[in-house]
Structure 1
Amino acid sequence: MKILYIHGFNSAGYGDKINHLKNDFGAENIIAPTLPYDPEKAMKQLEFLTEAIKDKDKLWIFGTSLGGFYALYLADKYKVPAVLINPSTDPYTSLKDQVGPQVNYKSNEKYEFTEKHLESLKKYYVNNLENLKDFVYVYLDEEDELLDSKKTKEYFEKNGIYVKMYPGGNHRFIHMPELIQDIKTKMV
C-alpha cells in the first residue's frame, strides 16, 4: 500500500504529519511531493502520481486543508480512498485574502498568488459527494482557527461521508496519532 500525501497552501511535502505517516506505514510507502503553488501545475503532478501508483499498488490519498480539497477531487476522479484533514471545501473563497505576494512558510519560496489561481481552483470542485461515502474519510480539529470545522463537518455529513472531529486542536491538526489508529480500522 502507498500513501500520497498532499500538503496545504503555502506548505511543503515534509513535516510532522508526514513523519507520523512514515513511522506508522513505512517511509518507503509515503509519497509527499512539495507541489507548485499554481493549482493547475499542482494537479497535473498529482494526477500523474495517482495514475502511476494506483494500478501498481493499493493507493490511499491523504490531504490537509487545500490538499484535502485536491484529495477529494482525486478520490472522485480515480475512485481511490481519501483521508481529508481539516479540508478546505471552497478554497477559491477561503483563499481570497491570500491574493498577492506570498512566502511559503516552509520552503521560503516567494511568489505571487493571483485571482487566476483562485479561479482555476473552481474546476476541481466535486459536486456530487454521495458517490464518495464509501471511501472518503474526514478528520477535523474542532478549534481550527482558519476554517470553520462545524460547517465542514455539516457539509460532509449531510452527504453521508464519515467525519470524526477531535476536541481542541488547530488548523495544523494535532491528532495524527489518533487519526492513524482510526483510519487503520478502515484500511482493512
Structure 2
Amino acid sequence: MTATHVLYLHGFRSSPQSMKARLVAQHVAQRHPGVTWWCPQLPPSPREAMALVLQGIADWPRDAMAVIGSSLGGFYASHVAAVTGCRAVLLNPAVDPARDLARYIGEQTAWHDPQQHFYFQPEFIGELRALEVAPLPRAEQVYAVIAKGDEVLDWREMTARYPGACITLLEGGDHALSDFETAHLGPVMAFVDPA
C-alpha cells in the first residue's frame, strides 16, 4: 500500500502550526509532492470537527489514504480509521477525552496564538462520547508512538486501548514528542508509506 492522501489531525488547543504537523507537511512537500496533504484547523466542537474532516475526505481513496493524529487528534484519527478502514498513526493519542477534557469547560486560548480564544462548551463532552469507537478491527493498520514520560496522558491507558497495534513505547519522552523530528518522523512516514 502506498498513500496518495495524508490527513493530519492536531490536538486540543493546537493548530496546523504545531511542530509535528509542520514537520510532516514539510516532509510530504519535499519528498512526495504528488501526495495530497491536508491538515485542517479543527473547530472546538468535536461533532463539527468530525463533520469537517469526513466532508473533506469524502472522495479520498480509502485504500490509499492515511491519517496521523496527535493527542485529541489521535482520538479523532481512531474514529476516521474506524469509518474508512485506512492506516492510522497515533501520537500519544487521547483515550478518554470526554473524561479528561471535562475540566476544561469554559474559556480557552489557542496554544500557538494566545490571542485566539474559544469557549469549550459542556455539550462537547457528549459529542466526544458519540465519537468513541471500539478497538479498531484492523489493528495491524495502526501504529502508535506512546511516551511513558507523557505528562498529560497515561501511557498504560494508551497502550491498552490499541491491542494488536504496532506500538513504539518510549521509556521517557513527553506529551509533545519533542524529539519527533530526529526519532519518530522517519518511522511514522515509513508506516504511512507515501507514494
Q: TM-score, normalised by structure 2?
A: 0.86
Match of 2:23 among 16, 20, 25: 20
Match of 1:179 among 179, 184, 187: 184
SS across alignment from 1:87: coil
SS across alignment from 1:63: strand
Identity of aligned residues (%): 26
Alpha-carbon offset, residue 187 of structure 1 = 4.0
SS across alignment from 1:76: helix
- Regions of 4+ moved over 6 Å: none
Counting only pairs closer than 5 Å after superposition, residues 118-129 of structure 1 correspond to structure 2 as 118-129=125-136
CA contact (8 A) 2:95 2:157 kept: no
SS across alignment from 1:134: helix
Alpha-carbon offset, residue 25 of structure 1 = 2.0
User: How many equivalent residue pairs?
Assistant: 184
SS across alignment from 2:69: strand
Aligned to 1:3: 6
Quick one: distance in 2 between partners of 1:106 and 1:184? 24
Q: Partner amino acid for 1:144?
A: D
Q: Partner amino acid for 1:5?
A: Y
Q: Partner amino acid for 1:80?
A: C
Aligned to 2:169: 165
Match of 2:142 among 136, 144, 147: 136
Quick one: distance in 1 between partners of 2:61 and 2:180? 24
What root-mean-square deviation, in Å, do the aligned CA atoms of Structure 1 and Structure 2 show?
1.9
Residues 13-44 of structure 1: per-residue CA shift (max 9 Å, x gap): 12311222123222654311111111111111
Structure 2: runs of 5 or more not aligned = none
Aligned to 1:95: 101
2:59 maps to 1:32? no
Q: TM-score, normalised by structure 1?
A: 0.89
Q: Which structure would you say has the larger RCO, counting Cα contacts within 8 Å and 6 or more residues apart?
A: 2
CA contact (8 A) 2:87 2:192 kept: no
SS across alignment from 2:167: strand
Q: Partner amino acid for 1:33?
A: P
Residues 85-140 of structure 1: per-residue CA shift (max 9 Å, x gap): 000011000111101111112233222212200111111111133x1212111111
